[in-house]
Amino acid sequence: MNIRPNRSAWRLGAVVAVIGLVAAACGGSSSNSTNSTTANTSGTNTASAPGITATTITIGSHQPLTGPAAPGYSEIAPASNALFKYVNAHGGVDGRSINYIYEDDGYNPANTATVVRKLVLQDNVFAIFNGLGTPTHQAVLSFLQTEKVPDLFVASGCDCWDNPTQDPETFGFQTDYTIEGKVLASYEQAHYKGEKVGYLFQNDDFGQGGVKGFDQEIPSSDVVSRQSYDATAAGLANGLGNQVSAIKAAGAKVVMLDTIPVATALTLLAAAEIGYNPVWIVSSVGGDPPTLSGLLSSISKGKAGASLENGVISASYLPSFSDTANPWIALFKSIHDQYDASEPWDGNTVYGMAVAYTFVQTMKAAGRNPTRADVLKALETDGGSFTGPGLVPFGYSTSHHNGYVGEQMGVVENGAFNMSGPVYRTTDSSGTPVTTYSGTQPAPPTSF
Amino acid sequence: MLSAGFLRRPLVRHLVIAVVLVVVLFLVTGILSSYNNFQIALIASYVIAVAGLSLLTGLNGQISLGHGAFMAVGAYTTALLETHQHWPLALVLALSAVTAAAAGLVTGLGAARLRGPYLAGATLALAVGLPELTIKFTSTLGGESGLPVNPPPPVSFLGASFDPNRYLAWVSILCVAVTLVLLANLVTSRFGRDFRAVRDDEIAASLSGIRVAGNQVLAFVVSAACAGLGGAIYALATGIVNPAGFTLVLSIAILTGTVIGGLGTLAGAVWGGILLVYLPRWSESLSNGFKLNKVVSSNLSLGLYGVVLIVVILAFPAGLQGGVRQAGRALRSRFMSGPGSSGSTGAAAPAGVSTPVASGGGGETS
């Protein structure tokens, strides 16, 4: 530590040299901000916006490819990419092929901040597409607004993406937790009216958003127990036995769960242990049958398994992966087998392809040579009438940026998720009732 | 004008080096892209935190696995004061360091009674436990989703179109310079000698009249203050503070940067900071280049990271800075001891630079 002059000079030289090297290595990629203001709907392809050339559209995303959130969720981006490859092989979008760069953030918001800045400032992506996670994506929300980068189809059911005045660039995708809560609760009211109800929810945006929806539909006098848990290692380490016992002691006949898959599994195991058999109504977040059965058998070390999840009621805004008669599922399965065969086939795969399809649809609606502003405008004006793999419409308009506005109910039977009955739709606000949606799903396009 | 003796006074010397460096780096930010400037801010946050830990561990002999927690204290202070109270940036940064120093004082009081693995255990508990507080006080600290942090708006005379990332890089470089100058003076002062004396032999140190416990607490306070300032810059750069950003992984990363850079050296902290930002990205792009199965390639980057760490430790046991010094000594002995070698190669230039001031150097110890 004895700093002598000669060494100081060395040190100075070394540090300057390093900074110089780093600068050279990174290459000053100057950003080309050629924002043309008018949309060109015909003629030849031009480089109409950052990330768009005459032959390519480059988009980026942050995804948990490693870390605690990776199981299941890491399948989404490869599935989206498979659909893009299929579209590229069939002529692309107006002759442009889609180049999808997804970076691993390990579900750590600090990493998200870094990788999204790399995508926007260095890779010059046209848009951030399907960035996954509430805490992670919140880390870059204001950055994307400042940089005016379209922030399309955030992979999270938080209602925080529906804020067009403050966050005009951001659009949600899936049914938000409050709408889902209302749909699940109105089903409960239709089939088990007057029964005692218990809640078990995750103590964060997800769980609280869902409970907000439950409470709009279920009379508070019916709710006999409200239990929660923290989604931390400590919060789940001792299982959920205390919470489940409290709900049983309160005499609930129906239990509403806003739980992640591992917490759903812990709940079902705790209930089986004390011989408690209520009707389970579970958020789509924690109800995917393949994920659940895997967790049930791994947590119980093989003593319990898929049979515990039989009869669990849940809901979805997309057709079930097990519904192979559905033409969209059939198309997605064939794309999966051709371009994504190394990944499993489940609800996450369907999700990844559905959101990728919606992006293709958006780019087509935005014109031949779209600017970033054209894409936002296309979603606000046409997005509400988009049809495709979804069972319900999107909520996109000039005043709302939320995604799917409802869900269809289904039940877990022998590892499959069988959906039936009416499709429900509603909004977040407490004045709007849950109504049925009668629109039909179109057949998938034969050409892209 | 300036005599050699004046230049040799530590404070003057450190200030001159710092001013030259700051000017050079300010100019460099102009030719870098916005993203590179953002990375400079990230590097700066790590450099400051690593320098603090380097002082504590390398100079005072105390280990801390909890510096991520002190960064969290600084970062949350910044989020609460800058974004919610709109206080001036300089004041916010100073207060972030002060708050972290207060946390360091409390920890230091306990740490002075603990040694080796027990101290590691206690600070480990801090790293694991402190972020959980944010979930207990959700209304103030934002719970899991955390608090947003507005990037500091460039001062008005730079113009409205001035790149905020470049401004952030300036602020960060200035913070690094101030921190390193202060630390460099601290380690050459009586306190620095006391730190080393306590590290080498506590009994001998106390026999020499050094209050060992007080000395150790002081080292903890200074070190935590650095981590707090690093955390503040980290918060400004990433634009968010939340518990997932300040896990045990961060504390371990800071310790890694300290050891790899060169324990107990301030220049080593610069290497450590650069490494912590670039190594994960390099190993990731390298592993992506192999076009392997996704499960392998997404975990290969961690493996490569580990391999680099092992290689560096094996090749340079004194860290990268130790390696730089070795190389420097080797170069100097080649070009300076040779009889009248009026070097014809360009490599002689650095040696020539050091000649006028290398008045009877040699035999230096760290």
Q: What is the ipTM of this complex?
A: 0.74
Q: How do the pLDDT tens digits run along chain A, 448 residues long?
A: 333 334 444 444 444 444 444 433 333 333 333 333 444 455 789 999 999 999 999 999 999 988 767 778 889 999 999 999 999 999 999 999 999 999 998 888 888 988 999 999 999 999 999 999 888 898 899 899 989 999 999 999 998 999 999 999 999 999 999 999 999 999 999 999 999 999 999 988 889 999 999 999 999 999 999 999 987 666 777 889 999 999 999 999 999 999 988 899 999 999 999 999 999 999 998 888 888 888 898 888 888 878 899 999 999 999 999 899 999 999 999 999 999 998 889 889 999 999 999 999 999 999 999 999 999 999 999 999 999 999 999 999 999 999 999 999 999 998 889 999 999 999 988 888 999 998 888 999 887 6
Check the CA dihedral A165-A166-A168-A173 and report its sign.
negative
Separation of alpha carbons B245 and B250, rounded Å = 8
CB contact under 8 A, A2 and B284: no
The predicted pLDDT at position B293 comes to 66
Q: Which CATH architecture has domain A12-177+324-407?
A: 3-Layer(aba) Sandwich (3.40)
CB contact under 8 A, A146 and B244: no
Q: How do residues A347-364 score in pLDDT, each as one tens digit? A: 899 999 999 999 999 999
CB contact under 8 A, A5 and B242: no
A340: closest chain B residue by CA: B294
Q: What is the DSSP letter of A155?
A: B
Q: What is the DSSP letter of A303?
A: S
- Closest by CA to B252, choosing from B65, B104, B121, B116, is B65
Evaluate whether B96 touches B228 at the Cβ level (below 8 Å). yes
The fold for domain A178-321+410-437 equals Rossmann fold (3.40.50)
CB contact under 8 A, B278 and A4: no
In chain A, CATH 3.40.50.2300 covers: 12-177+324-407, 178-321+410-437
* B348 in any annotated domain: no
Instruction: Tell me the HSE value of B61 on the side-chain side, using a 13 A CA sphere.
Output: 19
* B163 in any annotated domain: yes
Q: Residue B162 burial (CB < 10 Å; 0-12/13-18/19+)?
A: middle
* B307 in any annotated domain: no
Chain B residues in contact with A117 by the CB 8 A cut-off are 35, 38
DSSP conformation letters of B13-54: HHHHHHHHHHHHHHHHHHHS-HHHHHHHHHHHHHHHHHHHHH
B237 touches chain A (CB under 8 A): yes
Separation of alpha carbons A378 and A363, rounded Å = 8
Q: Which residues contact A225 (CB under 8 A, 6 or more apart)?
A: A198, A199, A246, A247, A249, A250, A252
What is the total count of domains within chain B?
A: 1
The predicted pLDDT at position A12 comes to 40
The predicted pLDDT at position A3 comes to 35
Distance from the Cα of B278 to chain A's closest Cα (Å) equals: 9
Phi, psi (degrees; rounded to nearest 5) at A33: -100, 70
pTM higher than the cut 0.90: no
What dihedral do alpha carbons B245, B30, B268, B97 form, nearest 10°?
-50
Q: What is the DSSP letter of A395?
A: -
The predicted pLDDT at position A207 comes to 92
Q: Which of residues 122-181 of B touch A (CB under 8 A)?
A: 132, 135, 143-146, 148, 150-151, 164-165
The size of the A-B interface in CB pairs under 8 A is 170
B27 touches chain A (CB under 8 A): no
Q: How do residues B3-19 score in pLDDT, each as one tens digit? A: 556 666 778 888 888 88
* Weakly modelled stretches of chain B, pLDDT under 70: 1-8, 291-295, 297-298, 337-366
Token representation of residue B270: 């610069």
What dihedral do alpha carbons A59, A62, A65, A66 form, nearest 10°?
150
The predicted pLDDT at position A378 comes to 96
Show the domain range for B247.
6-277
Instruction: Tell me the HSE value of A416 on the side-chain side, using a 13 A CA sphere.
Output: 10
The predicted pLDDT at position B306 comes to 82
| Nearest beta carbon to residue A23 from set B28, B250, B271 | B28
| Nearest beta carbon to residue A138 from set B184, B240, B350 | B240
User: Which one-letter amino acid corresponds to residue A246?
Assistant: A
Q: What is the DSSP letter of A218?
A: S
The predicted pLDDT at position A28 comes to 34
Separation of alpha carbons B321 and B307, rounded Å = 19
Token representation of residue B98: 């002060």
